[in-house]
Amino acid sequence: MSVTGTFDGKTVLITGASRGIGASAAELFARAGANVVMAARSDDALQEVRARIDGAAGRAVIQLCDVSKYDDLAAAVGTCVDRFGGLDILINNAGVIAPISRMAEADPEGWGQAIDINLKGVFYGMRAALPVMLKAGGGTVLTISSGAAHNPIEAWSHYCSSKAGAAMLTRMLDAEYGPEGIRAIGLSPGTVATEMQREIKASAINPVSRLEWTDHIPPDWPARTLMWMCGAGADDWLGQEISLRDPEIRQKVGLA
């Protein structure tokens, strides 16, 4: 898929950009000419991603950010405005699967931290981005969802609950601000070959943990889909969720 110049002049904020889907998205958007603000907690990992981006058409900026803290996301949005004059696309990608455990054995603090990242982090991103996007007349907010948002999976009460909440936030954003130019869409990528899948595999506790590595799609597939979702071709899904398990979607995106 040729993407050079597709996003010239656009500014994209990606949370969880230090690895997996977020890192792949940062590279692809930069190659397409976007200004990319990469937000995550690990400076070393972000530096590695930026090194791979060097020489791309766009520009990449590192932003240390803990999405469980609203002030961190507000600062990331501020960096978008200060460095590039605005924010066109927000990708709520940061998420955690730990601690994997059944409810009777779950660590309450760890369970709550997962909610802080997977659910509150999505709201914080939306809340920080909205004033800037509304002032500019619109923007796109894409949030990584999951099949776990709609189906219970053993030992994932924290993940299923937080992803279900995040899916509702996408619907709420569309209901409240769709008429004002805010494009809100969720992406359910299926299982992706990232570090999270290694954590799931090690837990050996549910059917997902028994999948083979070859069963997972590469992280550039959801990244490429996120790029497609920024265009008018995805407008039929505004306020809804796109599933990469859908062969029709894969065909639209141009995935093998």
State the Cα–Cα distance between residues 46 and 34, nearest whole angstrom: 17
3-state SS, residue 8: coil
Supply the pLDDT for residue 193.
67
State the Cα–Cα distance between residues 86 and 77, nearest whole angstrom: 8
Superfamily holding 11-191+220-253: NAD(P)-binding Rossmann-like Domain (3.40.50.720)
Here the tokens at position 147 are: 């099949």
Supply the pLDDT for residue 148.
84
Strands 59-64 and 241-243, sheet pairing: unpaired
Going from the C-alpha of 50 to that of each of 181, 195, 225, the distances in angstroms are: 31, 19, 21
Active site residue: 70, 124, 159, 177, which one? 159
SS (H, E, C) 180-196: HCEEEEEEECCCECCHH
Here the tokens at position 93 are: 């990608």
Supply the pLDDT for residue 56.
57
Count CB neighbours of 251 within 10 A. Answer: 9
Known active-site residue 124:
no
State the Cα–Cα distance between residues 133 and 62, nearest whole angstrom: 21
State the Cα–Cα distance between residues 65 and 87, nearest whole angstrom: 17
Supply the pLDDT for residue 58.
61
Query: What phi and psi, each to the nearest 5 degrees, are found at residue 77?
Result: -65, -40
The count of residues in the chain is 256
Supply the pLDDT for residue 70.
98
Per-residue pLDDT of the chain in tens (256 residues, 90 and over written 9): 445 458 999 999 999 999 999 999 999 999 999 999 999 999 999 999 998 887 555 689 999 999 999 999 999 999 999 999 999 999 999 999 888 999 999 999 999 999 999 999 999 999 999 999 999 999 999 999 998 899 998 998 999 999 999 999 999 999 999 999 999 999 999 777 677 777 887 886 877 777 676 767 788 999 999 999 999 999 999 999 999 999 999 999 999 6
